[in-house]
Amino acid sequence: MAAKPMMMPKTTFVPPVIGHRGACGHAPENTLVSFRRAAALGVRWVEFDVRLSRDREVVVLHDEGLERTTNGGGLVAEKDWAELQALDAGAWYDEEFSGARIPSLGQAISVLAELGLGANVEIKPGPGQSDETGRITAARLRAEWPATLPPPVISSFDSESLKAARNTAPDIPRALVVSKIPTDWRNRLAALGCTALHCNHKHLSPGQAGEVLDAGFALRCFTVNRAARAATLFGWGVETVITDYPERMPA
């Protein structure tokens, strides 16, 4: 039986540590086995990436192309879901994970529900697919996200995807992802109705952190793999670090 969709608040509690693409320091990124490894390490939330197949399935994969993390080739947007599902997404990482598959968003949600994991779902649209990817992903999350899990966060570097997600499911919290914090960050967050800013920790200063927090937004950083750096960021008021190695982070 399908889980009943939940009514989602505009804000949600996000824990201090999120597993990056599952726990990709220990298992092939963006796979169900990576989510399970994250849960085994005590993680309460994971981050993963989604994009569209040619036949408009929402699939969990970071890159536009298939070469880096599967035994396939070509663009995800030019493959149907059945073709993608047949690929090996684990052997590239280690023979131990041979046979791991690219998950669909639905499959990911089922495993998250089983494990009790919350999620930051990052939209990675293909060229010309910003609106469609944001709209379809948000609609699926709104319809299928189970009430047993904390509300998810939708994030993206792509403003058009976030705008489409906002228009489709305004009750799901959103975060703008940036590498360096731009000068117009306040206007962009306000225009997109975001509750948080996600940035590369390497380019963040304590002054910038203070400005974001004083403006009433949550601040989360990627990809933080050193405990000392995480402690520094937490000292600046950063809410959450996204990490390949969750077990290394301060308790």
194, 162 contact by CB (below 8 A) = yes
Q: What is the DSSP letter of 6?
A: P
What does the angle CA 155 – CA 161 – CA 165 come to, to the nearest 5 degrees?
Answer: 75
7-30: buried (b, 16+ CB within 10 Å) or exposed (e) per residue?
Answer: ebeeebebebbbbbbbbbbbbbbb
Please say whether the dihedral angle defined by the alpha carbons of residues 115, 116, 118 and 123, taken in this order, is positive or negative. Answer: positive
Q: Which of 20, 26, 198, 201 is catalytic?
A: 20
137-155: buried (b, 16+ CB within 10 Å) or exposed (e) per residue?
Answer: bbebbbebbeeebbbbbbb
Nearest C-alpha neighbor of 52 from the set 2, 115, 107, 127: 127
Q: What is the DSSP letter of 226?
A: -
Q: Which of 26, 62, 198, 201 is catalytic?
A: 62
Whether 20 is a known active-site residue: answer yes
Nearest C-alpha neighbor of 46 from the set 29, 63, 62: 29
47, 91 contact by CB (below 8 A) = no
Nearest C-alpha neighbor of 117 from the set 166, 167, 45, 62: 45
Residues tagged active-site: 20, 62
